[in-house]
Amino acid sequence: MIGATHLERRIIIISVAFAMTLFGLAALAINLFHVGLPTCLTDIKPFQKGEIITHSPTHYELHYVARMWKFEPEDVMVPAGSTVDIYLSTPDVTHGLILLGTDLNLMAVPGVVNYARVKFDHPRVYQLLCHEFCGTGHERMAANLRVVDMATFNAKHSAPVPSQPNDPVYRLMEAKDCMTCHSIDGSESIGPTLKGISGRTTKLTNGSVVTADDVYLRESIVKPEAKIVDGFDDVMPKPELTEEEVNAIIEYLKTLK
């Protein structure tokens, strides 16, 4: 009986120590990486619209909607030093959300909202990917979260909002998710900006330098893994385009001066 009591005490002590270690590691992760513990919120109704809500100049609430096969919003900008409360919902199937460069890892489960808090201290472009297979378009699910210095953020938000291009080729590129990773105004994104790309001298990850002529543009569209621009990752999926659509995109890129 005495031996059993001693064993029980040891089990209790070890269990308490293990639990305290887990809490300690969680606290350390929060302090070092500024990522709050993921939480499933069953008392919040799933939302259908992706948006960012400003609570203060350094506190934002970001509603991500994951649906086949995109994240909404696809492009978000916040200033460095911001704390962002991220809420994730889905109207269709189970998706995943991982923010590369952070410890943020959430599941998007139909019927519930998942949540985590992240603090972004330094300017950087973060890539958002789906890590849960969700169908034939899974590999195209990507978005970006841009953290910029306060001066850049203020300048961007005080400038007039440009109207969305009505060019049918631009709309085609939107439909093919090209604009998820590329911009046409020179701003940073997951991939190189398309502004001024035609004829531009570009350095590749292998150290070589190429000129973005028609041959290079075509290869970059139909075989994106062939030549990777220095400073960017090989994450562009191969788009499903007809020969006519590829030609139209090349001609459109030439107009982006």
Residue spans of the domains in the chain: they are 1-33, 39-158, 168-253
What mean pLDDT value characterizes the chain? 84
Residue 12 has pLDDT above 80, yes or no: no
pLDDT tens track for 53-67: 999 999 999 999 999
CB neighbour list of residue 152: distance below 8 Å, 6 or more residues apart: 123
Give residue 117's pLDDT.
Answer: 92
Place of tokens 């911009």: 183
Q: What is the pLDDT of residue 18?
A: 73
188 pLDDT exceeds 70? no
Residue 255 has pLDDT above 50, yes or no: yes
Higher per-residue confidence, 185 vs 52: 52
Q: Where are the beta strands (DSSP E) in the chain?
A: 39-41, 51-56, 59-67, 70-72, 75-79, 82-89, 95-99, 105-108, 113-120, 124-129, 142-148, 201-203, 209-211
| Highest mean pLDDT of the ranges 15-19, 34-38, 72-76 | 72-76
| 71-85, 126-140, 177-191, 210-224: the lowest-pLDDT one | 177-191
- Give tens-digit pLDDT for 89-136: 999 999 999 999 888 999 999 999 999 999 999 999 999 999 999 988
Q: Is the pLDDT of residue 184 over 50?
A: yes
Q: Following CA atoms 116, 117, 123, 129 in sequence, which dihedral angle do they give, to the nearest 10 degrees? A: 0
CATH class for the domain made up of 39-158:
mainly beta
Residue 209: pLDDT band with limits 50, 70, 90: very high
- The structural architecture, per CATH, of the domain 168-253 is Orthogonal Bundle (1.10)
Q: Say what the pLDDT of residue 2 is.
A: 46
95 Cβ partners below 8 Å, 6+ apart? 66, 67, 107, 108, 130, 132, 134, 141
Per-residue CA distances from 64 to 46, 98, 162, 193, 203 (Å): 11, 12, 23, 24, 34
Which of 129-138, 156-165, 182-191 is predicted with the least confidence, judged by mean pLDDT?
A: 156-165
Average pLDDT of span 209-228? 92
Indicate whether 3 pLDDT > 60. Answer: no
Q: Are 46 and 87 in contact (CB under 8 A)?
A: no
Q: What is the pTM of this model?
A: 0.54
| Res 6: pLDDT | 66
Residue 1: its pLDDT value, please?
45
Tell which wins on pLDDT, 164 or 43: 43
